Amino acid sequence: MRDVRGDVVRRQLRADHGVSVENVRSICGYLISAETNSESIAARADDLFVDPIIEHGLTNTAALASDHFVDAPDVVVTIGFKPGVTDNPGKAATDGYLTLFPNDTAAKVATYITYAFYGVPETCVPEWLASTLHNGLIERALVGGKEACASGQWPELSFPTPPPQTFTPPQAVDLEVDDAALMTLSEQGLLALNLTEMKAIRDHFRDQTTQTARAAEGLPINAPTDVELECLAQTWSEHCKHKIFASKIHHVDTETGEDTVIDSLFKTHIMKPTHDMQNDVDWLLSVFHDNSGVIAWDDTWSVCMKAETHNSPSALDPYGGAMTGIVGVNRDILGTGLGARPIANTDVFCFGPPDWSGDLPENLFPPSRVLRGVHAGVRVGGNESGIPTVNGAIVFDDRYIGKPLVYCGTIGIMPSVLPDGRPSHVKTPQADDIVYMVGGRVGYDGIHGATFSSLELTEESPSSAVQIGDPITQKKMIDMILEARDAGLISCITDNGAGGLSSSIGEMAEYTNGCEIDLAAVPLKQAGLSPWEILVSESQERMTVAVQPHDQAAFEALANLHEVEATPVATFTSTGQFHVKYGEETVALLPIEFLHEGVPQLELESEWTRPNPTPFTPPSQADHSDLLLRMLARPNIASKETWVRQYDHEVIAQTAVKPFVGVARDGPGDAGLIAPIHGDPHGLVISCGIAPRYSDLDAGAMAAASIDEAVRNAVCVGLDVDKMAGLDNFCWPDPIESAKTPDGRFKLAQLVRANRELERVCRAYRLPCVSGKDSMKNDYGQGEGKISIPPTLLFSLFGDQPDVRFTATSDFKQPGDLIYLVGSSKDELGASELAFMLTEAGEAPGIGGQVPLLPHPEENLRTYRQLSRAIQQGAVRTAHDCSEGGVAVAVAEMCIGGRLGANIDVDGTGDADLWSRLWGESLGRFVVAVAPDQETNFLKTMAGHPTTVLGRVTEDAVFHVTDGHDAVIHLETDSMVHAWQATLAMGGASDE
Amino acid sequence: MSEEVRVAVLYGFGINCDHETKAVFDMVGASADRVHVNELVSQQTSLEDYDILAVPGGFSFGDHLGSGRLLGNRLRFTLRDSLKAFADAKKPIIGICNGFQVLVKTGLLPGPDTHEPDFVQRASLTLNDSGRYEDRWVTLEFDSESPCIWTKGITRMECPVRHGEGKFVMPHEADVAALESSHRVAVRYVDPVTPIGAHHTQVLPYPVSPNGSMHNIAGVCDSTGLIFGLMPHPEAVYAAWLHPNHTSGHAPAGQGDALEGWEGEGLQIFRNAVEHVRAHK
C-alpha cells in the first residue's frame, strides 16, 4: 500500500523548501483515557481505529519498534495537539469509542501523527523538519534524530490534559485612578479601549441612578466588576462597533482645498444610499441590521449574503484561523432572520508571493505555508459542511506578508414565509422567551478574539485567540436548527461569534430591552472558568436561540435527536438591563442603552495628498509574445486550479457555471451561477471584485474598480442588472494617527476616498450594499519594520439570473465565432499588473501614472444591461471580463479554455497607445465571442454601445494579434496553457 | 400509475447530499423522505416502511478514522438487524460517495458471494494517490453484463467525483478479479477517447482515474445486484445545465418545461431502481 500521508509531506518539502527526502511514512496514533482495560480495547481495535484492509494496528507498543519498520528512519517527528486545543479526529474517535463501549462514558481519545523520514539530507536539521510540520502555538512536536532512531528511542506524547483553570470570583475594578493607570488597565487587560472610552465607563459608575441600581443587586457601587468591564470591552471593540466607520472625521484635501467634517462614513456613504434605493424597489427585505443582508429572490424564496474576514487568527494559525472564518460566516447565515440555509461559499485570499525568498519578520510564516494552511482550513470547513465554494480569488502582494487577508462569504436561502405564516427575515422575540445556547461548549479557547483583532499583530499575540473549527458539530447544529425553524420553534436567533454570549445575547436583548443570563448554567469544556471568561469566550459552533416557553420541550427533543447540546442559559426581559448572574449572585448589571449606545464617538483627522510614484513608461523594445507568457505566469493572473479544485464547488447539485470552464474544464470562470431550487433553472449569480494595488495611486479608484469588476463578472453569466446587491468588506491598515502610525491621516483619507467612490458608483449602478464589514488594523509590528497592507476593498455581489440554461462562459466555443471587445481601452497603465511586473524586473521605472477610472458609470450600466440581455437571449455564449493583463490576457485565457486559437486586431479598440490597448486595465470592458448566425442579433442588441470587432476564433490553436498591419503576438495555445498553469501548481498531485 | 415507491434518504452526522438525493428520487416518480439515522435507531421511523434506502454523500463524522468508518459503525452496531431485514427483503440500497464508503466499511459492499449480508469488511476506500480531495468531472463506463439493477442500460456517463478517499482497494488482486468476473464491478473510470468495452485492469493515469483505484473501480454491487455503491455523484447530473460544458453549442430555442430536453444523464440510475421496485411490487 502506498503511504499517501507521508508522500504528501515529501512532495511539499520539495516544492516549498527544495528539500528532497527519499521516503516518508506515517503512523496515526490514538491516546485513550478510559475505564475499559486495554486488552478489551485492543480486541476491538479493528472495529474502530484500524482499517483491517489497508492498515496494521498495534496497541501499547511503539509501531516504530515493530516489524513493520525494519529499517531505522533518519528522523522521527510526532505531532499532537496542545492540551485544550480542539482535536476533531479525537472527538470523532471518542464518539466512535462510545458506539463500541457505551458504558465507558468518561472516556476520551486524543490523536497524534508520527512521520518517519528516510534518506534525509545531512544538512537537514530534525527540529527544522518538525517546524515545517506543526504550529507551536497549538501543537506539540517531539523529535528523534539519527542517534535516537538508531537506538530505538521513540518519541512518546502523553495524553493532553489541560491544566486546571482557577475559578476567580468576580472582582471590582477600581477606575478612580489617573489617566495613565486607566490606560495601563486597558492595555494589560487586552481590553483595546482608549482613554475616552475608559473615562466614559468610569463616568457611568459615578452616576447616581447606576449606583442605586447596583446597591440593590449587591454589586460594587462605584466600580465595574471584571465581568462588566470585559463585557463592555467586547461590545465596544472596533471589531463589534466599527468605531472608525462611525467616527467624526475632519477631512482635508490638499489637492482641492476641501476642508470638511464627515459624521460617520458608514451612515453617510453606505447606509444612506442603500436606504434611498430601498424606497425604489420592493426586494430589499433586510439591510445592515441583521447578520446578513436579505433580498427577495422570487415570490417564495429570500436569499441573503454575508462576508467576513479572519485575518489575525489566520496569521497566527492559517489552518484554524481560516476554518473558523468560513464556518463562522456560515453561522451568520444561519442566524439571519429566523434562520437561513447556507448554500454557497466564496473565498478571497490576499497573500505574500508564494515564492517569497526574502526575510520574514519574527513569528510570521512564509507565504507558501500561509496559503497551504488557509486553503486547507477553508477547504475542510466548506467541504465538510456540504456547502459548495462557487466563487473567489487569490491576490498576491509583498505587503500581505505581514497580515494575510482571508475573506469568507456565504450565501443563504430561506422560504419567504415560514409554515406558521411568519416572514422568515423578521425576528420575533418577546420578553420571557427562553434563550438557549446551542451547539458547542464554552472553553478557554477564543478568549479576547474581538479585542485582539482590534490590535496590531505582535510577537506576543495570545494563543487563546486561536481556535480550530469543528464543521461536523456545526453541521449537526445546522440540520437541527433549520428543522426547528420550519416547526415554528424559533423566535429569535443569532450567531455566537466575536464577543461570545456577551455579544449574542446582548444584541438580541435590544429587541425586548433586557435579559437575565445565568453563567453557571452554561456548559463548559473544562471546569474552573471564571464568570467573565464564560461571558466573553468565543468558543466556536454555537448559536444563541430564543424559544417561547411552551416550545421548549419540542425544541429540546429535536436537539436530542440530532445529538446537539442545547441549554437554556438566559431569559429575555424588558427591564432595560443586561443582567448577568452566576447562580444566585449578580455579577453584571449594565443598562442595555449604555452597553450599545454608550461608546463615545471617535474624532479623527484625515488629510489627502496624492501619492506620486514614478510613472510607468514601457520599454522601447519589447517582444509582446514573451511578455504574454510572463504575464500568464504571474501569480496574480496564473491559474489557481490546483487550489480551487480542492473545494467542492457543486454539492447541493445547483452549480450551473463552475469555477473552471471549457473543454478541459480548466479555463477561468468569471462568476458563480447556481440554480438552487432542484428542477428549476432560475439562477442566482455570485461574483466578486478586488483591485488592491490601485490604492498605490488612489484608494478611491481602487474602490470603483472593485465594484465594477464584481458587476462585470456577474454580467458575463447573464446577471439581471436591475436586481443585484452588494457587500462591502474593507480591510485597511490602522488609519488613526498616532506615534506608531504617523501616516494615519493619509490612510484615513484613503478610506474617505474609497467610501465616496463606493457611494458614487453604487448609486449609478443602482447597486445597494446590504451588508458589509471592516477590519481596520491590518499591520504587522511597529516603527521601522512596520508592514501595512495596501488598502483593500473586497466587493461581493449576488443577483438574479433569469434562467441558467441561457448563460455564457469564457472559453471559446467554435472556430469562426466572431470576437468583440465591448467597452474601450484608454491610456490607463498606472498600477497595472504589467507595470508591476516590468518595474519589479527593472525593465520599467515605476508603477505610477494614470490609474483606471470610471468617469460615467451610468453609461457603463446601460451597456452592461444590453450585454446581459444578449446573453439571456442566447445570442452570446462566450463572455469574459477584461481586467488584470488587459485584452491580451483575456483573449489568451479564452483560447486556453477552448483549446482553440484566435486571430485578432487591436487597432481601433480605443484612442490609447498599443501598450494600453494590449495590457491596459481600463474598466467597463468585456471580450465576447458570437456565433456567425447570431451576429446580427448581437449587434442589434448592442447598438449604440461601444462594441468593436477584434477578429475570429481559429481552429489552429494559435493566438495571433496584430495592431493594424503589425504582428505583435504569435503564440501556440499549448504554450500559454503551460505558462498559465505552472506557477501555482506548487508540488502538484503526483511526481510528474 | 402503480403503487407509491418510498425511498428513505439517510441524513445526519455530516451527510450532506441528502437534499439533492431526495430531489432526484422525487423527480423520477418516487416519494422520498430524509430520515435521520437516529430516527431509525430510536425506532421512531421503521426502515420496513421503505422500498429503497439511499446513503448519500457527505462527510459523516468528518471522515475521521477513515471515511465512512464511524457512520458505518453506527449502522453496523445499532441498525444491523433492520438493515439485514431490508436486504433480505430484496430491497435496493445505494451508497453514493460517502455513502459508498459507509456501505464498504459496514461490509454490505462488496459483500459475500452468498446472498446473505454478513457485515464483514472485504474492501476499503482510502486516500487518493494524489493526496488530495478534488472535485472534477470524470468519464464512467458501466458493465453491461452486471447484475446491478441500478445501472441497467447505461453505457457511459460524465459525472463529478468529489472525494479525497476514493481509491478502491482489496487485499489481493484475485479478490478484484473475482468481483470482475461476476460483473460486480458495475462502473469504472475510463479514458473517453478509448472505445467502449476496452477494459483496462491497469490503473489509468491521473486524472482519468482520479484516485488510483485497483482496476479503475468507481463502483461495485453486491452479489444480488440490489446493493450498489459508487464514488461519483450521479445525482449531481440530474439536469444538463449542471454539466460543465452546457454552454457549448447554441442555447436552447424555447423555454419549455425546465427539464424538457435538459434531463441529465445521472437520473437514469435512480429511475432504474424505482422501476425495479415497481416491477417487483
Mean pLDDT for chain B overall: 94
Contacts of A100 in chain B (CB under 8 A): 73, 77
Q: Which of A11, A384, A806 sits opposite B14 (nearest CB)?
A: A384
Q: What is the 3-state secondary structure (H, E, C) of chain B?
A: CCCCCEEEEEECCCECCHHHHHHHHHHCCCEEEEEEHHHHHCCCCCHHHCCEEEECCECHHHHCCCCCHHHHHHHHHHCHHHHHHHHHCCCCEEEECHHHHHHHHHCCCCCCCCCCCCCCCCCEEECCCCCCCEEEEEEEEECCCCCCCCCCCCCEEEEEEEECCCEEECCCHHHHHHHHHCCCCCEEECCCCCCCCCCCCCCCCCCCCCCCCHHHEEEEECCCCCEEEECCCHHHHCEHHHCCCCCCCCCCCCCCCCCCCCECCCHHHHHHHHHHHHHHC
Q: How far is CA B67 from each of CA A50, B58, B163, rounded to the nearest angstrom?
A: 12, 10, 10
All residues at 6 or more sequence positions from B257 whose CB lies less than 8 Å from its CB, including other chains: none
Flag whether pLDDT at B93 surpasses 70.
Answer: yes
Phi-psi sector, B63: left (phi>0), alpha (psi -120 to 50), beta = left
- What are the residue ranges in chain A where pLDDT is below 70? 448-465, 988-992
Q: Do A53 and B169 touch (CB under 8 A)?
A: yes
Within an 8 Å CB–CB cutoff, is residue A53 touching chain B?
Answer: yes
Confidence of residue B153 (pLDDT cuts 50, 70, 90): very high
pLDDT at B251: 62
Using alpha carbons only, how large is chain A's radius of gyration in Å? 29
* Contact predicate A892/A959, CB 8 Å: yes
Q: How far is CA A522 from each of CA A88, A217, A518, A528, rounded to the nearest angstrom?
A: 22, 21, 7, 12
Within an 8 Å CB–CB cutoff, is residue A640 touching chain B?
Answer: no
Query: What's the gap in Å between the CA of B169 and the closest CA on chain A?
Result: 8
Q: Do B23 and A653 touch (CB under 8 A)?
A: yes
Contacts of B160 in chain A (CB under 8 A): 650
Instruction: Return d(Cα B198, Cα A674) in angstroms, integer.
Output: 37
Which residue of chain B has the CA closest to A49? Answer: B65
Class of domain B6-134+160-170+218-280: alpha beta
Q: Do B135 and A654 touch (CB under 8 A)?
A: no
Q: Do A675 and B241 touch (CB under 8 A)?
A: yes
Query: What's the gap in Å between the CA of B251 and the closest CA on chain A?
Result: 5
Within an 8 Å CB–CB cutoff, is residue A673 touching chain B?
Answer: no
Q: What amino acid positions of B are annotated as catalytic residues?
A: 97, 233, 235
Is the four-CA dihedral A736, A737, A740, A742 of positive or negative sign?
A: positive
- The per-residue DSSP string of A893-916 comes to HHHHHHT-EEEEE-TTS-SS-HHH
Q: Do A2 and B122 touch (CB under 8 A)?
A: no
Coil, helix or strand at residue A414: strand
Query: What's the gap in Å between the CA of A10 and the closest CA on chain B?
Result: 11
pLDDT at A208: 95
Which residue of chain B has the CA closest to A381? Answer: B62
Flag whether pLDDT at B2 surpasses 70.
Answer: no
Within an 8 Å CB–CB cutoff, is residue A935 touching chain B?
Answer: no
Q: Do A681 and B239 touch (CB under 8 A)?
A: yes
ipTM: 0.96
| Domain boundary assignment for chain B | 6-134+160-170+218-280
pLDDT tens, residue by residue, B219-239: 999 999 999 999 999 999 999
Best residue in B17, B35, B60, B65 to probe A by mutation, most A CBs within 10 Å?
Answer: B65
Within an 8 Å CB–CB cutoff, is residue A10 touching chain B?
Answer: no
Which residue of chain B has the CA closest to A990? Answer: B130
Coil, helix or strand at residue A857: helix
Q: Do A53 and B122 touch (CB under 8 A)?
A: yes
* Contact predicate B157/B265, CB 8 Å: yes
Contacts of A8 in chain B (CB under 8 A): 131
Which residue of chain A has the CA closest to B70? Answer: A96
pLDDT at B10: 98
Within an 8 Å CB–CB cutoff, is residue A925 touching chain B?
Answer: no
How many CA atoms does the CB half-sphere of A452 hold within 13 Å?
26
Best residue in B74, B125, B133, B135 to probe A by mutation, most A CBs within 10 Å?
Answer: B135
* Contact predicate B224/B93, CB 8 Å: no
Best residue in B10, B13, B16, B260 to probe A by mutation, most A CBs within 10 Å?
Answer: B16
∠ at Cα B111 (B108, B115), nearest 5°?
A: 100
pLDDT at A448: 67
- The per-residue DSSP string of A617-668 comes to ---SS--HHHHHHHHHHSTTTS--HHHHTTS---TTS-EEE-SEETTTT-EE
| Domain boundary assignment for chain A | 4-150, 179-242
